[in-house]
């Protein structure tokens, strides 16, 4: 499998009044062609900032540094705004968290859905309209003709998110980035949207990056999972590795906080105690150390090096050191 996206040593910070928020601190990852990758982590761990940095969609005061961001063999860090814009919405589609606010309230569905078609594929009005109807059918919106003329406030949250998905896939992108696409939706709608995304993934061979703070959401969909915390990647591996052989205490915490697949419904869920680090003054050691119950003195002083455990599995934790105590995940 060839790499579609390859990010090397990405650092993103925001200069704000009181200091610098170090939102992303040196992360590297890749996404293969047609592969679906999940990025999980608590709120504030830097998931959105990572993807927005890759897209070049952060505000001016963001300082984005990367050794390299390759997309389909092209170096994105060297691109002009115009070249980047030509990729946005055509080669890379994005779906955002809150469908209530992600659509412009003053333009109807047709206008917003045909916009990328008119911009990137230079379609005329009737042709774009025809394609928009097909797209609405593809995202399983009933009665598409009527929907085209409707405004966002006339649609339910689930329908709006379907429209967002239709916009993201309008130009047949190579990759779709979905940033918590189901967080703002009802549970029943959530599973429908996930099914739809999975269906699209299987039929269109598009790479998908699924950002979420809920491991359960990506269990069935993503072949590979990246676990982020405090602006760094603490563990990554295939879905099987993350779910069945997790090595990082933070990953254990995440797994204990979701209901088990086929598990006992009365089973107690264990939340992770404590709060995420303040990215204005990130700890110099492992960001998870203050909340980690296996924390050693070294954890507070030094970032853990990345330990490659297998072809896909890697973890950044001092417990991997040969002389570290052997600890077991408590379930």
Ligand X SMILES: Nc1ncnc2c1ncn2[C@@H]1O[C@H](COP(=O)(O)OP(=O)(O)OP(=O)(O)O)[C@@H](O)[C@H]1O
Q: Between 176 and 299, whose beta carbon lies closer to Mg ion? A: 176
Q: Which of 233, 276, 253 is nearest to 329 (CA)?
A: 253
Cβ-Cβ contacts under 8 Å for 89 (sequence gap 6 or more): 116, 119, 120, 167, 168, 170, 171, 173
Is residue 309 near another protein by the rule CB under 8 A? no
Interface pick for another protein out of 22, 50, 102, 251 (rule CB under 8 A): 102
Report in angstroms the alpha-carbon separations of 2 from 41, 55, 201: 26, 20, 17
Q: Between 43 and 308, whose beta carbon lies closer to ligand X? A: 43
Q: How many helices (H) and strands (E) does the chain have?
A: 12, 13
Smallest separation (angstroms) from another protein to the CB of 55 = 7
**Token match 């659509």: residue?**
103
Q: Round to whole Å and give the CA distance between 87 and 177.
A: 13
DSSP label at 26?
Answer: E
Smallest separation (angstroms) from another protein to the CB of 140 = 21
Interface pick for Mg ion out of 12, 36, 45, 48 (rule CB under 5 A): 48
Interface pick for another protein out of 44, 46, 93, 237 (rule CB under 8 A): 93
Smallest separation (angstroms) from Mg ion to the CB of 178 = 11
Q: Which of 176, 229, 212 is nearest to 24 (CA)?
A: 229
Encoded tokens for 4: 């579609």
Is residue 43 near another protein by the rule CB under 8 A? no
- Residue ranges in 105-124 that form contacts with another protein under rule CB under 8 A: 105-108, 115-116, 119-120
Interface pick for another protein out of 33, 98, 140, 198 (rule CB under 8 A): 98
List interacting residues with ligand X (CB under 6 A). Answer: 14, 16, 21, 23, 41, 43-49, 59, 213, 279
Contact footprint for another protein (CB under 8 A)? 55, 57, 81, 85-90, 93-94, 96, 98, 101-108, 115-116, 119-120, 151, 153-154, 164, 167
């Amino acid at each position: 499998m060839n790499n579609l996206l390859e990010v090397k040593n990405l650092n993103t910070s925001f200069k704000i009044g009181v200091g610098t928020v170090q939102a992303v601190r040196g992360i590297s990852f890749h996404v293969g062609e047609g592969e679906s990758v999940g990025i999980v982590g608590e709120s504030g761990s830097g998931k959105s900032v990572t993807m927005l940095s890759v897209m070049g969609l952060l505000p001016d005061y963001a300082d984005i540094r990367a050794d390299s961001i390759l997309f389909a063999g092209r170096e994105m860090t060297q691109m002009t705004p115009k070249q980047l814009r030509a990729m946005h919405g055509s080669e890379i589609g994005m779906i955002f968290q809150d469908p209530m606010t992600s659509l412009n309230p003053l333009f109807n569905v047709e206008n917003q859905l045909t916009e990328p078609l008119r911009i990137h594929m230079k379609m005329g009005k009737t042709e774009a309209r025809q394609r928009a109807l097909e797209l609405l059918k593809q995202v399983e919106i009933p009665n598409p003709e009527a929907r085209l003329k409707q405004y966002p406030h006339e649609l339910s949250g689930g329908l709006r998110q379907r429209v967002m998905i239709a916009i993201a896939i309008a130009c047949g992108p190579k990759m779709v980035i979905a940033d918590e696409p189901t967080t703002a939706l009802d549970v029943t709608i959530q599973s429908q949207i996930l099914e739809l995304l999975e269906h699209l993934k299987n039929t269109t061979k598009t790479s998908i990056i699924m950002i979420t703070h809920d491991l359960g959401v990506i269990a069935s969909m993503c072949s590979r999972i990246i676990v982020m915390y405090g602006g760094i990647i603490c563990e990554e591996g295939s879905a099987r590795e993350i779910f069945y052989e997790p090595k990082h205490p933070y990953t254990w915490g995440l797994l204990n906080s979701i209901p088990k697949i086929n598990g006992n419904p009365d089973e107690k869920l264990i939340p992770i105690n404590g709060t995420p680090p303040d990215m204005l003054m990130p700890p110099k050691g492992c960001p998870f150390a203050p909340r980690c119950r296996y924390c050693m003195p070294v954890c507070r002083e030094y970032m853990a090096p990345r330990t490659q455990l297998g072809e896909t599995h890697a973890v950044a934790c001092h417990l991997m050191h040969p002389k570290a105590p052997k600890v077991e995940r408590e379930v």
